[in-house]
Amino acid sequence: MTPSEHLKQILHRVEKGQQTDEDITVLRQLLLDGDRHLSIQIR
C-alpha cells in the first residue's frame, strides 16, 4: 500500500468515526512534519 492509499484509508475511518489510536498518531505526525510532507502523502 502506498503512503497516499494509507492516508486515504485513515481519513475514511476518521470520517466514519472509526479511527484508531494509531490513525490519530499517524495524522498528528504528518501534521507535525509540515505541509510539504502532508501534500506529498495526499498525491
The size of the chain, in residues, is 43
The pTM (predicted TM-score) of the whole model is: 0.71
> Which amino acid, 6?
H
38 by Cβ neighbours in 10 Å (0-12 / 13-18 / 19+) ranks as middle
Position 16 confidence tier, pLDDT thresholds 50, 70, 90: very high
Q: What is the mean pLDDT of the chain?
A: 84
Which residues make Cβ contacts (< 8 Å) with residue 16, sequence separation at least 6?
Answer: none
pLDDT given at position 23: 95
Percent of the chain's residues with pLDDT above 90: 42
Position 37 confidence tier, pLDDT thresholds 50, 70, 90: low
pLDDT given at position 41: 60
